[in-house]
Structure 1
């Protein structure tokens, strides 16, 4: 379990931010005022309220740290309102392992986050081996609510910069400034991987695929890529 948590934390720290620079430029990044004011200061700023962001928030909450989670959506796990597009997770939900060891059983539950609340387990939310994505959305929102995690929704952060005094500063879509000592990125992979090749402009991306099977009747279909999305699409 310790190794799994370490990998999750490392994954969150290594993710990148995607999006355009939206700051209006009225505040210069080298302005000395940025070294004297600390608007809306938090020691830890976590960006993204998906599984990674919420898991980090849980540990920060239990450690009594000063933190906030920024989420651009109106709730936790909004990524899973669209993906996977065929609406079944590919992470297993094995409710019966034949064992009584909790650690062993938890290793066969690929969806639940770590917490002290045993009611917050996906095995209690769905009996399906591959649960519906909508169930995971409900689970993540319950996780954030029941554990009193400090999540600020409808907050799109941009222009993250490191000031001369070593603090980070950023702004939301309303140009409200926030300052923090540490930034943890948990935004996930937000842009599709679109390889370029002759004719690639004619290809439909996974993110735009219709799920109505009538759309494919009598058609020859070529799937480029044999990762999870490719296999999910082929099975559908």
Structure 2
């Protein structure tokens, strides 16, 4: 691996490749470091039925719209094909199998310690992924459970669970869709929901919910947070009927304050309404054959799937004391030469934000490198 570069990009997922393509268009050299052996490894590992919840029109990476024959909501396999074609189109060649162990300040740049040796860079772009490390909270009694346990990161399809009673812990988008997959393929799922959850349809009166969210940003947040529940009750029914409560925070307020995206329903609510998916409250304790819930009831299960989320994971290789902002280009990021991309989960869609952030980061890096070169050639 080269020992110096203007820009080191950590991660070859959609975010890292998007920044690289924008830098390529700007004529800026870079090196991409990826710990796996292929680009977009997280997408290759996703459960089989997953589709983009955002439309292809607003989910493509810079300079490369999705092919016209792709459906409105792109499935996992076609998205992986798109990523591979994107890397080839812009001649993006990541250094695969390189794990970043540490990133620290050095002179006016950065020193990136990787498995094959150090790399010095003027700028570092961290694109290692919002879902880099699975989170699996501890539950009392988990060691006594005799059935199968796994994190949603390891779930592929429902085939191994046909005929079984399965507890899905957590109702984010992943938990809701895994429960739906199980219900549609012969399993008997129960979702354990901790606290409240906002649920929206993928399309509202034929309009993609992503576009509704984009329009909603133009209006007052408080007004929209009052109106949305009334409209959603008409479309999906009152969630309280099915054991689901809404959070006290409004839908848009929760996104702004905690980057928590609502569950985008693709059929789970219908299965809950039919009784094919059961809903249970938070887990109080896991037992040898199942779980006891916060309401005192006990259920027996053959397997437990923890859809309990992920964490970014970049903090473990950053120099102590450095706390980068997750929103792309900031004054602090520009001054440090350190950027994050792909960590701002917005109502308008993560991939759309990635495309916007990638171009802004590339523009900022290009400007700073050009200014530095101009300063160096000025006569004394």
TM-score range, shorter chain: 0.5 to 0.7
In structure 2, do the counterparts of structure 1 residues 56 and 88 end up closer, same or farther at CA, with 3 Å as the change threshold? same
Cross-structure match for 2:20: 57
Local SS of the residue matching 1:162: strand
Deviation at 1:162, TM superposition (A): 1.6
In structure 2, do the counterparts of structure 1 residues 65 and 139 end up closer, same or farther at CA, with 3 Å as the change threshold? same
CA distance in 1, matches of 2:19, 2:9: 8
CA distance in 1, matches of 2:100, 2:69: 32
CA distance in 1, matches of 2:99, 2:45: 19
Q: Of the candidates 219, 222, 233, which is equivalent to residue 167 of structure 2?
A: 222
Local SS of the residue matching 1:168: strand
The answer to whether residue 113 in structure 2 is matched with residue 113 in structure 1 is no
Which deviates more from structure 2 when the two are superposed, residues 192-201 or residues 133-142?
A: 192-201
The answer to whether residue 25 in structure 2 is matched with residue 45 in structure 1 is no
Cross-structure match for 2:201: none
Paired residues for 1:127-146 under 5 Å: 127=71, 129-146=72-89
In structure 2, do the counterparts of structure 1 residues 114 and 195 end up closer, same or farther at CA, with 3 Å as the change threshold? same
CA distance in 2, matches of 1:147, 1:160: 27
Q: Does the 8 A contact of 2:49 with 2:157 survive in 1?
A: no
CA distance in 1, matches of 2:73, 2:7: 34
CA distance in 2, matches of 1:210, 1:45: 33
Q: Of the candidates 21, 31, 45, which is equivalent to residue 68 of structure 1?
A: 31
Which structure 2 segments of 5+ residues have no match? 182-380
- Cα shift readout 1:29-79 (whole Å, capped 9, x = no counterpart): xxxxxxxxxx62111101111111011111111111121111222221121
> Higher strand fraction: Structure 1 or Structure 2?
2
CA distance in 2, matches of 1:210, 1:51: 21
CA distance in 1, matches of 2:13, 2:3: 23
Paired residues for 1:71-110 under 5 Å: 71-83=34-46, 85-93=47-55, 106-107=57-58, 110=59
The answer to whether residue 180 in structure 2 is matched with residue 235 in structure 1 is yes
Q: Does the 8 A contact of 1:47 with 1:53 survive in 2?
A: yes
The alignment of Structure 1 onto Structure 2 pairs a total of residues equal to: 175
Deviation at 1:146, TM superposition (A): 0.7
Which deviates more from structure 2 when the two are superposed, residues 152-161 or residues 73-82?
A: 152-161
Deviation at 1:123, TM superposition (A): 4.1
Deviation at 1:221, TM superposition (A): 2.5
CA distance in 1, matches of 2:169, 2:108: 45
Q: Does the 8 A contact of 2:52 with 2:75 survive in 1?
A: no
Cross-structure match for 2:110: 168
Deviation at 1:214, TM superposition (A): 5.2
Q: RMSD of aligned C-alpha atoms?
A: 2.2
CA distance in 2, matches of 1:144, 1:210: 25
Q: Of the candidates 71, 86, 91, which is equivalent to residue 148 of structure 1?
A: 91
TM-score norm. by structure 2 comes to: 0.42
CA distance in 2, matches of 1:140, 1:69: 15
TM-score norm. by structure 1 comes to: 0.66
Q: Does the 8 A contact of 1:68 with 1:151 survive in 2?
A: yes
Cross-structure match for 1:122: 66
Which deviates more from structure 2 when the two are superposed, residues 66-75 or residues 197-206?
A: 197-206
Q: Does the 8 A contact of 2:35 with 2:99 survive in 1?
A: yes
Q: Does the 8 A contact of 1:57 with 1:150 survive in 2?
A: no
